[in-house]
Each structure stands twice: as C-alpha cells, then as structure tokens.
Structure 1
C-alpha cells in the first residue's frame, strides 16, 4: 500500500512520522526549509513523555518524483487545495483514493448524500469545480482530523494531543478501501474508525471552527475566555444555532447540544485558534471553508443566518485589511 501525504506540515507530518515508524510505504509532499530539513535529517516527532523520534522519510516538493499512489491524504488548508489539484495529478492512478483531511465544509459534501441537493457543487470551497473535476468525487474518502500538532522548527513536529482520524465514505458504506486505510493507520498507533455518518462528525467539529475561529481572530481572546465571556459566548451560540438549523435540514444528527459544545471549547483552556494564529503569522486565513461555506449552505436551504452573516462580514474585512484574505 502506497500512501502519500500532500501538505506534510504539522498534522500531515505527525501522521507521516507515525506511518514511517510503523514501516508503511509513505511519502510526504512539502516545501521550503521544512522539506529541506526532512530530506537531510529525517522527520523528528516530539511526544510528551517519550524520547524524540527521528525517522527517515521520502519527501519531495514535486509529485512527479513519487508516481501513482493507493491513497493521497490531503492535509492542506482548504483554500490551498484548488491551486494544487493539477500538481497532484501524477499521484493519481486508476484506483487512487483521495482522503480529504481538510477542515470545514468539504467540496464533496453533496456527493452520494441523496435528496434534493445531490451533486450540488459548493463555490465557496471549490471555485470553478476544480476539485470536483480534477479529482472526481468517486475517489474521495472523508476524514475528520482531531490531533493537534505544530511545526516547532523545520523537520520537527511537536504532537500536542489527540490521535484520531475518523474516516467515512460519502455514501456511508464500510468499503474495502476505508477499512484497509483504517487498518494501516491503526498499525501506526493512530485511531481511525470508519464512520457510517461522517458528515455528523464534520459538523460537530465545524460547529466550533465556524464560531470560535472568527471570534478569536476578531477579539484575540483564547478559547477559555471567549466561551465564558457572556457577550462572546452569546455570539458563538447564535452562530452555532444557525448552523445546526442548516445541518439538520441536510439530515445531520448532532450527538450533543450547543451549550455542551461551547463548554467543551472552554475546557480546552487558553488556546489560540488556528485562524487567529494565521492572522498573527501573516498566513492566508481559512475563512471560506469555515464560515462562508456555511452561509452558502444557509442560502441553499433557505435558512436565515444573521449572526453568521455579521461575524463573517467582520472577519472577512479583518482579513482583507491584513492582506490575508480575498
């Protein structure tokens, strides 16, 4: 089984290091100093309570050098994917599965969902249908990424918490390809359950991302603060209620209620969300997949989203002023 991780930064690097340690045939596509360090010294993984682990890895900037794969696991930010679909084509053979380990509403959301919106394309996450046409939705295996990690220096990944990568077919089946990848990840010490309702998990994670991320980018409040301050908690709750109304119209079942989800965010502690970190570090902000896509789904399902619309307008302007969006 040949596995390529495309966008091997923090999360992709963590997964890649674990797979390489387990002896899997894994390659990493990365760039810049991080790539150079991996090529020269291997990939180092720092985990609490364990000695640093350094493993030799096959790493490249170009997919041409790697050839067709059984699985291509995409761990880029959502807005980065359309621009590299063409560059990924050398990895894709007749039977390649593209694993979408990307935050937010996935571009393939309406593939094999059934109902009145079957096959609907989402312009906010796949402008021009680049991914739909370039990958083809039949190749896709969904993935909800739970670990937290960071690149502490080129070639070195610090694992912070979590080891679960939930997998799911768009049609809910327990396919051979999903089970085979699940077994490979489990052999590397990662949890990879195959879920029959992967969209439910997508929404539970998105629930926090669509609200906590933009609010933190606007206020510079950590999760424990924004989830307990009465004003920002109310704003987050309003956004999440609107999102829940949309999701339930699309058949999603939420296993917890809004307030428990917000309390879970508060329990994380003084965490700076990824959108706030991107703003501080001058990186493009992941607004479209986390916020605008939910607005697009609101329009599609004829669900009013006044709180989402307000916060979205503010964070989009914040991003444009910083030169990091639009």
Structure 2
C-alpha cells in the first residue's frame, strides 16, 4: 500500500511520522525550509515529551513519487484547487483521494441522494477544479481531530488528539476505507470508518464556523469568547443557523449548541487556527469555514443573518490584512 501525504505540514507531518514508524510505504509532499529539513535530517515528532526522528521520502515534485493507492490531502482548503494539476502524477485508476481538509468538503453533495445530488460548492471548489480534476468517485472523506504545529522546519510538535474519522460519501464500509483504517490503526492512530461522516463534519464545523472568525476579530482565546456573554451570544446565533442548515440536509447533531460551546470553553486559552494565521500573515480559511456555510444556507433557503454579519466583518479584516 502506497500512501502519499500532500501538504505535509503539522497534521500531515504528524500522520507521516506515525505511518513511517509503523513501516508503511509513505511519502510526503511539502515545500520550503520544512521540506529541506525533512530531506536532510528526516522528520522529527515531539509527542508526550518524547522526541522521535524518522527518515522520510519527501519531495516538492509529485512526479518523482509515482502513482499511489491513497493520496491524503492535508492542505488548507483554499490551497487545494490550484494544485490539482500538480497532483495528477500521483493518481492512477485505483487511487483514492482522502480529503482531510477543514470546512465544508467540495464533495459534500456526491452520493447524498435526493434533489441536491451532485450540487457543487463553489466557495470551496471554484470552477469545479477538484470535482473535475479528481473526480468525486475517488474521494474518501476524513475528519481530522489532532492538533499539532510545525515548531521548527522538520519538527512537528503534537498537542493533542489522534483520531482521523473516515467515511465514504455513500456511507458504505468499503474495502478501501477499511484498508486505510487498518493502516492508520497499525500506526497507533484512531481511524473509525463512519457510516454518517457528514454528522461529524458538521459538529467540527460548528466550532470552526464560529470560534475561528470571532477569535480573529476579537483576538480572544476560546475560554474567553465562549464565556463572555456578548461573544457567546454571537457564537450561539451562528451555530443555531448552521444547525438549521445541517438538519435541512439530513444531518443529525448528537449534542446541543450549549454543550458545543461549553466544549470550546473547556479547551482553555487556545488561539484558533484563523487567529494564528492572521498573526502569522498567512492566508485565512474564511471561505471553507464560513462562506461555505452561507452558501449551503442559500442552497437550502435557510436564513443566515448572524453568519452573514460575521462573514462580512472577517472578510474585510482579511482583505485589510492582505490575507484574503
């Protein structure tokens, strides 16, 4: 089984080290100083106070790696459409594209059934770049739960979590999903195959949709924005609207809004990824995390006044910073 991780930053690098330690045939696509460090010194993981370095096959040229059984995409959502042509050398007839990307996935309406079957989500796949370039039948969904960071080039610091939930768009427990699950579990990761992966997508999206832009606008950590009465009310408003959209699409939410917000508060003084990107001068994931939900609101004819307001503010903040 050949596995390529495309976009091997913090999460992809963490997964890559674990797979390499388990003896998997894994390769990594990365760039810049991080790639150079991996090529020269291997990839280092700091986890539970232990530091481990493994040699890895890493490149910025997919054609040097050849066709794969699985291509696990761990880029930021806005970065994927532009690199679809670069990924083509990795793709053979049998290759599965594992979409480990935050936000509403580009394949969301593939095999969902009903009148919205095959609907395209332009906010995350402008021009249908992934739909046409990969083909939706290749996709295997993945909800990423670990938190990690690239502490220095070539070094990944694991913060928490080790679960990568997998799921076919049609909910089946396919051979390819079960085989990848087995490989990830052999690497010490949790990799359940879910029959209703979209439910998990929405529970994670609930937080990303609201916590991320509000934190970037206020510079508040999760414990603060989830307990301050004003920002908690805005968060609740966004989540209620998102729940109405999700339920219109057949999603079942296993917890209620208040518990989801309390869960965010319990994380503590955490700076969300969007706030980190803003401070670091990196492009912000506004479209995948917020505008995509607004788009699904339009598709389902669900009003989104709170989401619309916060989206307008964070879009302007992003444009002002030159990051959107």
Corresponding position of 2:25? 25
- Supply the distance in 2 between the matched residues of 1:302 and 1:128 (Cα, whole angstroms): 23
Query: Are positions 1:304 and 2:316 aligned together?
Result: no
CA offsets, 1:195-228, max 9 Å, x none? 0000000000000000000000000000000000
Corresponding position of 1:7? 7
- Supply the distance in 2 between the matched residues of 1:3 and 1:145 (Cα, whole angstroms): 17
Q: What SS does the aligned partner of 1:149 have? A: strand
- Supply the distance in 1 between the matched residues of 2:82 and 2:158 (Cα, whole angstroms): 28
Give the unaligned 5+ runs of structure 2.
none
- How many residues get paired? 324
1:226-245 pair list within 5 angstroms? 226-245=225-244
CA offsets, 1:279-303, max 9 Å, x none? 0000000000100000000001000
1:1-326 pair list within 5 angstroms? 1-50=1-50, 52-325=51-324
- Supply the distance in 1 between the matched residues of 2:224 and 2:9 (Cα, whole angstroms): 28
User: C-alpha displacement at 1:48, in angstroms?
Assistant: 1.6
Q: What SS does the aligned partner of 2:88 have? A: helix
- Supply the distance in 1 between the matched residues of 2:40 and 2:125 (Cα, whole angstroms): 35
- Supply the distance in 2 between the matched residues of 1:122 and 1:162 (Cα, whole angstroms): 29
Q: What SS does the aligned partner of 2:269 have? A: coil
Give the unaligned 5+ runs of structure 1.
none
Name the TM-score, length of structure 2 as normaliser.
Answer: 1.00
User: C-alpha displacement at 1:49, in angstroms?
Assistant: 3.6
- Supply the distance in 1 between the matched residues of 2:311 and 2:235 (Cα, whole angstroms): 12
- Supply the distance in 2 between the matched residues of 1:219 and 1:43 (Cα, whole angstroms): 35
CA offsets, 1:51-99, max 9 Å, x none? x100000000010100000000000000000000000000000100000
CA offsets, 1:111-131, max 9 Å, x none? 000011000001100000000
Q: What SS does the aligned partner of 2:203 have? A: helix
